[in-house]
Structure 1
Amino acid sequence: MSEIKQTFNSSLGKKLIMALTGLFLCTFIIVHVGGNLLLFSGDNGFGFNVYANFLTHFPPIEVIAYLLYLSIAVHALYGLILTVKNRKSRPVGYAVQPKATASWSSKNMGLLGSILFLFIVIHMGDFWFKYKYTNTVAFKEYRTDLATGKTTESAYTPVSADFNHSVSTENNVEIVRLKDLHARVVYSFSQWWYVLFYVIAMGALAFHLLHGFQSAFRTLGWVHRKYTPIVYAIGTWFFAVIIPLAFAAMPVYYFFVYAK
C-alpha cells in the first residue's frame, strides 16, 4: 500500500493522474457539446430542457456527475502542484534562452488551466447550481399534438414545492412540464461580458486540449509510430478546433439572436 502511495506522490504518479482525469474529462466534453447543440434546434428550448432534466434526474448520470466533479477538482489540484513544482525547480531564468522546442500551450498549461477552472466555477454556479438547488429557474409546459407533431409552450406554476417534472398524455396530446433552463441560457448569453468571457475560455480550452490530449497518451505510454499521428490529428482538429468552436458558437449565436 505504501508503494502505491509513493508512486502516486511522485511526479510520474501525478502526471498519470492528470492524464487519466484529463481523458475522462475529454469524454465528458464530447457528451456536453452534443447536448448543448440542442440549443440550435429551433424548438424554443424543448429539447435542451429535456436534456437538462435527464442529466439531473437520471440516477446513473448523477453518479457519473459526481465522478466528474471529483475529476475536475483532482485535475485542477494536481495541475497546480505540478506547475508550482516546475517553477520552483527553475527559480532563475536562463541567462541565454535555449532554442525552445515546446509549444506555447505546453509552456502555459498552468495559465490555461486557471482560466478554465475559473470559467467552470462561474459556469456551474450560473447554470447547474441555480437549476438544481435554487428556485430562480422557472417552469415551462410543452404540449405536443401527437397527430400533427405541433408543439406549443407556456409558463407553468407547480402545485407543490417539491415538483420536479412530469410527462403525461391527455386527448392525444403529450404534456411535458419541467424547469426552463433555456430561459437562463437566453438571459446569460444576452450579456456581452459573459459572452466575451465564454469565448476567451473556449480559446483557453482549445490551447489546453491542443497540448493536453496528446500529452496524456505520451504519459500513459500509448505511443506508436502508426497510431500517434492519428492521436495528434484527433487532438488537434477535433478537440482543439471543432469542440471549442462549437461551444463558442452558442453564446455568440444567442447574443445576436436573442439579446435585446
Structure 2
Amino acid sequence: MSWFTKTFSSTIGRKVLVAVTGLFLISFLVVHLVGNLQLFKDDGGNAFNVYSHFMGTNPIIRTMEIVLVVGFLLHIYEALVLTRRNKNVRPVAYAYNRPEDNSNWSSRNMGLLGTVILVFLIVHLWNFFVPARFGGLDGVVVDNVQYDNLYIRVVESFHIWWYVVLYVVAQIALGYHLYHGFQSAFQTLGLNHKKYTPAIQMFGAFFSVVVPGAFAAMPLYFFIQHILN
C-alpha cells in the first residue's frame, strides 16, 4: 500500500478529505446562491434564464460540474466511513453517558442532517437539473435569443406546498450541518489559533444562518406570492 493510499484511508486522512471537500462545497453554495438571487429580479425571469443558459453551456462550468459531483460523492462516502468507524470503536454507549454536555446537537446528528440534505438534493436535481441539461423545458425569447424557461419551472415548483416544506426543512438541516461543519473543517486542517478561531466560529455561525436563510426565502417568496394572488 502506497503512502498516499495509507494516509487517506486512515481516520485522520479521511477527516481531512471530508474537511477539504466540505469547504469546496461551501464555496459552491455561495456561487449557487448568487446566481439564484436572479429569481428576485422583477423581469419575468429573463435574468435567471440567461444565467441558467450560461451555467449550462459554458465549458468551464460544465467541467466544474463534474468536479462538484465528485466532491459531493467523496464527501458523502468519507463521512459514512467515519461514522461507521466511530460506531465500531464504541458500539455500546456508556450507561451514564451525557453527550450533550460535551458537544452541540448538530455535531451529534451530522448523519441525520446529511441524510435530509441528500434526499433534498436528489429531488432538487431531478426537478431542475435534469430538465435543464437533458431537455423538457419550454422555450422563451430574451433579446432575440432562445433560452430554456427554467424560471417558470422554478416558480411552478415553488407553488407546491410539500416541495416548499421539503426545501425549507432541507435548508434548516443545511444550516445546522454548516454550523458544525464549517468550524470543524478548520479544526481538522489544523487551522486553530486563539486569536483567529473565535472569528472563524463567528463567521461560520453567520454563514450557517444567512446562506440557508437566503435559499429558504426563495420558495417562501413565490409560495406566499401565489397564495396572495
Which TM-score applies when normalising by structure 2?
A: 0.96
CA distance in 1, matches of 2:2, 2:115: 32
CA distance in 1, matches of 2:161, 2:98: 42
Read off the aligned partner of 1:9 and give its amino acid letter.
S
The answer as to whether partners of 1:105 and 1:211 remain within 8 angstroms in 2 is yes
> Is 2:131 the counterpart of 1:130?
yes
State the shift of 1:176 in Å. 2.5
Q: Which residue pairs with 1:118 in the alignment?
A: 119
The answer as to whether partners of 2:114 and 2:177 remain within 8 angstroms in 1 is yes
State the shift of 1:88 in Å. 2.0
The answer as to whether partners of 1:186 and 1:258 remain within 8 angstroms in 2 is no
User: 1:53-109 CA distances to partner (integer Å, 9 max, x unpaired)?
Assistant: 111100111111110011011111111111122122221111112462111000100
Q: Structure 2: where are the runs of 5+ without partners?
A: none
- SS, match of residue 223 in structure 1: coil
Read off the aligned partner of 1:241 and give its amino acid letter.
V
CA distance in 2, matches of 1:87, 1:114: 17
CA distance in 1, matches of 2:140, 2:29: 27
User: 1:154-194 CA distances to partner (integer Å, 9 max, x unpaired)?
Assistant: xxxxxxxxxxxxxxxxxxxx423200000100111111000
Read off the aligned partner of 1:251 and give its amino acid letter.
P
- SS, match of residue 233 in structure 1: helix
CA distance in 2, matches of 1:120, 1:70: 15
Alignment of 1:63-82 (within 5 A): 63-82=63-82
From 206, 210, 220, the equivalent of 1:252 is 220
Identity across matched positions, percent? 43
Q: Which residue pairs with 1:231 in the alignment?
A: 200
Between Structure 1 and Structure 2, which shows a larger proportion of strand residues? 1
CA distance in 2, matches of 1:5, 1:97: 35
RMSD: 1.3
CA distance in 1, matches of 2:9, 2:120: 28
CA distance in 2, matches of 1:75, 1:258: 37
- SS, match of residue 178 in structure 1: strand
Read off the aligned partner of 2:213 and give its amino acid letter.
L
Between Structure 1 and Structure 2, which shows a larger proportion of helix residues? 2
CA distance in 1, matches of 2:181, 2:102: 16
> Is 2:193 the counterpart of 1:192?
no
Q: Which residue pairs with 2:29 in the alignment?
A: 29
State the shift of 1:111 in Å. 0.6
Q: Which residue pairs with 2:38 in the alignment?
A: 38
Read off the aligned partner of 2:144 and give its amino acid letter.
I
From 161, 175, 186, the equivalent of 1:206 is 175
The answer as to whether partners of 2:120 and 2:170 remain within 8 angstroms in 1 is yes
Greater RCO between the two (CA within 8 Å, min separation 6)? 2
- SS, match of residue 94 in structure 1: coil
- SS, match of residue 220 in structure 2: helix
The answer as to whether partners of 1:190 and 1:255 remain within 8 angstroms in 2 is yes
CA distance in 2, matches of 1:87, 1:115: 20
User: 1:15-53 CA distances to partner (integer Å, 9 max, x unpaired)?
Assistant: 000000000000000011111111111111011111111
Read off the aligned partner of 1:217 and give its amino acid letter.
F
State the shift of 1:122 in Å. 1.0
